[in-house]
Each structure stands twice: as structure tokens, then as C-alpha cells.
Amino acid sequence: MKLNKWTLGLAAVGVVSLNSVTQAEEAQHALMTAVQSTTLSGYVDTSAIWLAGPTSEAYSRNFFNTYGPVMYSPDGTAANASQYAPQGVMGRSFDGDDKQNGFNLNVVDLTLEKPLDEGQWSAGYKASLWLGPDANTLGSQSTLSTGSSDFAVRNAYVSLRAPVGNGLDFKFGVWDTIIGYEVMDSPYNPNYSRAFSYYIQPFIHTGMLASYQVNDVLAFQGGIAETGGADNSINSRSGVAGVKTYLGSVSLTAPESMGWLEGATLYGAIADIGVGTASPTRTTDTINMYGGLTMPLPMEGWACGVAYDYRANGLFDGSYENTVGAYMSWQASEKLTLNGRFEYATGSRGSSVYGTLGGATLVTDANFGAWGVPGGTSSNVKMTGVTGTVDYKLWGPAITRLEFRWDHAANGQTMFQGLSRKNIYSLALNVIYQF
């Protein structure tokens, strides 16, 4: 401890004590150490999207959440489902009707993080905040919130490491779901728009997640959370104490000894999302299952991936949705990457939308089916999607992506753009600055 002459003089006359000075300096040192180990990062995500064909004038608002979209009338009351049915694009999250045919601010992400260090006993944290329209789509307001907002808590958790084997890591708080191929942060996805599969997956959970790396090949995760409501709301309990979501995953990563396959990862995850008795028309839990593979190819710069998602009883009692996706990527140069995605999605006709949201009564209509597509007399929903993206690192940390996407009703339904078209075509420009 270094003391200057003024401190020594004041201590001599009893104005301050050496013990208090020591404690103050130790506290300051601890604070500076914490600040120095904390990182600030984030990004600004913008886009412009053009949708070919007519634009529907019907009112539509989608909340993409744990159970897919829920519909309500402009005044927040029950409404005729055929009048206020989703229009334009189906089965797409974060780039729905409200973003088509115009310029958009998607989101501003701000992240503070202190990662776990290499010590046997280690502590850290992460707090990610979203500002902008995508914060509404995330739907992570707390159960005390009175409505939607352009502000959302994306992640907010304390991380701990216990000296068990190779180190047992824990997250306590709000964290991203372990389900799915694509991630919440758009800059790290191969395409601008998210796949059909993202529509049927949970987004975030409030709870505890444990992770254990057995070795360089095998890793496990398991968690318990409060994700039982009709949305991704923080602390959501579905109106019933004790209703829980249970999650687990396992991953296998190819070691260096496997040559060009080094780094290939096989991943599987499952989530059992409890619904409780607050939704009397829903008597069983929602089950999400996921399996995926990412792997490099023997040709330099090439990689591929496949993904499968299934949701049982995710939108209505007895209904289901599933998707299969194939990904291909070619890094042509340090700045240029070409990405492609093909997807196929199916879903049952379903029965009804249920419950309430923010005091508003949600639409109940027997004509609603999977993916938010009116069922009526039609068969199960079938959709295909083809997406191609040119990713170019313009300069510095700026990323530009030009994307063309074609969605097709594979069973012949006219389900797009006011339920009048079997195909939709969109062109998107995505500009992101990372810091």
C-alpha cells in the first residue's frame, strides 16, 4: 500500500485511520480490476427489403414467441381471424410484414461481458440489451410489463465455474435458447433472413443452465427455466407456480486426428416447455427437438450444414410443425463469402389460438393452422424456401449482405400476400456495423 504525505499526516492526527485507507484502496483496486476485465461490444443492424408483388393492406401484427404468432385486433380485443389473419409473408420471424418494402432499423445491440477466467473458481457475467423494433419481436418484457417496447433484455446472467472435473459452468438469469442452427445475433448467421425453423423455436429462457466439457470431443448442457408462458417474457410462469421448462443438449466435435473433418460438430437438443393450467385448452407441454451438423468440406473455403427442427403441440393442441434445412458456404476471399440455404417445412392444420396477452383477448378461430396460415378446408401446410446471400466485408468492421429469397407453397395453397399467391420473392440489403 502506498500512502502519500497528506494521508500520513491526517492519519497522525486521527482524521483518518490506516485501516480505512487500506479498505478504500482495496475496494478501488477490486473495482478497477472488474472494469478492466469487462468488455463492451455490440452492433447496429439495418436493412432495406423489397417484396415483389402487391402489398396487403389488412392489419397484421405477429408476436413470434415460444408458441409462434398470436393475433389481436387493432383495439386489442377479440377479432375475426379471417379479417386479421397474417398477410404477406408466413413462417418468417424478424423480417415480417412490417419490414417489407422499405428501409429499416432492425436493432442496436449493446453487450457488457466479463467472461469466466481459467481459474478453478471463477465468476463472470453478461448483459445484452436490445434497442429498436426487433426488441418488440423478441418479446422479453418482464411479467410486470404493461405492453411492448423498443427496449428488451436479450441476455442478463451471472456465470460461475465450480472445480468439478474439467470445470462445471453455470448460468443464472436470462440466456439464449440452446435449440437451433441459427442464432439470435444476426451478424453471426449465414443469411440475413432467418430460416423457417427460427419461427418455431423458443428465443430465451429465465433460469439456470449447466455446461460441462468432458473433453475436446464431447460436451453436455442441461437447464431448468421459467419459459412456460405464451411468450418469452422474463420470469414467465404461465400463471402457475412450479411450471417449468427443461432443456438438454449434447455435442460431438471432430478432433484434429480426423483430418479435414476437424471441427465438424454434431449437435442435438430438446426442450420440454410446460404450459400449466392457465391455458385450459392446452393440456400437454410443448416439445421442441433439434438435430444439426456443421462440417468443413475437403475443398478450401467450403463448408456445409444440415438442421432438423420439430415442435409438437407448439401452436395448438395436437398440432405440430417441423423443418429441415441444408446450408452451403464458400469463402471466396478474405472479404467475400457466398451462402446458400434450402428449407422444407410442414405443419398440421391445427385448431385454435388461445389465452391472453397484455390484457388483450387473443383470437380463437378453428380456421387457423400451423405457421399462422389459415387452415379451413386445406391440407397440412407445406413450404419450401431458397435463400442466396452475398456477404462482403465492406471496410473496417462494416458488413454488407445482399440476399435473394424465394418462398413457395409446396401443397398449392395460396398462402402469401393476402392469401392470394403461392410464391413470394424478396430482395434484402443488410448493413451491419460491429464494435
Look up residue 162 and give its three cell numbers: 465450480
- Distance of alpha carbon 71 from alpha carbon 205, whole angstroms: 23
Name the phi and psi angles at 253, rounded to 5: -120, 130
**Lowest mean pLDDT, pick from 55-69, 324-338, 366-380:** 55-69
- Distance of alpha carbon 345 from alpha carbon 340, whole angstroms: 17
For residues 250 and 278, state if they share a domain. yes
Is 66 or 46 the better-scoring residue by pLDDT?
A: 46
Q: pTM, whole model, 2 decimals?
A: 0.81
If residue 21 lies in a helix (H) or strand (E), which one and from where to where? helix 18-37
- 129 has pLDDT over 50: yes
Residues 6+ apart with CB under 8 A from 418: 54, 56, 58, 87, 88
Residues 6+ apart with CB under 8 A from 390: 336, 338, 401, 402, 403
- 76-117 pLDDT, tens digit per residue, is 333 443 334 445 688 888 998 889 899 999 999 999 999 998
- Distance of alpha carbon 247 from alpha carbon 204, whole angstroms: 12
For residues 20 and 78, state if they share a domain. no
pLDDT at 414: 81
- 338 has pLDDT over 70: yes
For residues 15 and 81, state if they share a domain. no
What is the pLDDT averaged over residues 309-338? 86
SS3 of the chain: helix, strand, coil, percent, to 5:
10, 45, 45
Q: DSSP readout, 297-310?
A: -SSTTEEEEEEEEE
Surface-to-core class of residue 214, CB atoms within 10 Å of its CB (0-12 exposed, 13-18 middle, 19+ buried) = exposed
CB 247 within 8 A of CB 270: yes
Residues 6+ apart with CB under 8 A from 241: none
pLDDT at 220: 98
For residues 245 and 115, state if they share a domain. yes
- Mean pLDDT, the chain, rounded, equals 79
Question: Three-state SS for 207?
Answer: strand
CA angle, 337 then 300 then 392, to 5°: 10
Q: Which amino acid is at 168?
A: L
For residues 14 and 62, state if they share a domain. no
- 7-43 pLDDT, tens digit per residue, is 445 445 454 455 655 555 655 555 555 567 899 999 9
- Distance of alpha carbon 187 from alpha carbon 180, whole angstroms: 16
- 316-327 pLDDT, tens digit per residue, is 556 788 999 999
Question: Three-state SS for 331?
Answer: strand
For residues 234 and 269, state if they share a domain. yes
CATH number at residue 141: 2.40.160.10
For residues 251 and 265, state if they share a domain. yes
Closest to 203 measured CA to CA, from 130, 253, 132? 130
For residues 10 and 98, state if they share a domain. no
- Distance of alpha carbon 140 from alpha carbon 149, whole angstroms: 9
What is the pLDDT averaged over residues 185-209? 93
pLDDT at 241: 54
How many domains does the chain contain in total? 2
Is 368 or 53 the better-scoring residue by pLDDT?
A: 53
- 262-281 pLDDT, tens digit per residue, is 999 999 999 988 765 444 44
CB 208 within 8 A of CB 188: no
Question: Three-state SS for 408?
Answer: strand
- Distance of alpha carbon 356 from alpha carbon 396, whole angstroms: 46
Q: Which domain holds residue 22?
A: 1-37
Q: Residue by residue, what is the 3-state secondary structure of 338-365?
A: EEEEEEEEEECCCCCCCCEECCEECCCC
For residues 129 and 195, state if they share a domain. yes
pLDDT at 98: 84
Question: Three-state SS for 138?
Answer: helix
For residues 29 and 63, state if they share a domain. no
For residues 8 and 100, state if they share a domain. no
204-213/360-361 β-pairing:
unpaired
For residues 290 and 338, state if they share a domain. yes
pLDDT at 242: 58
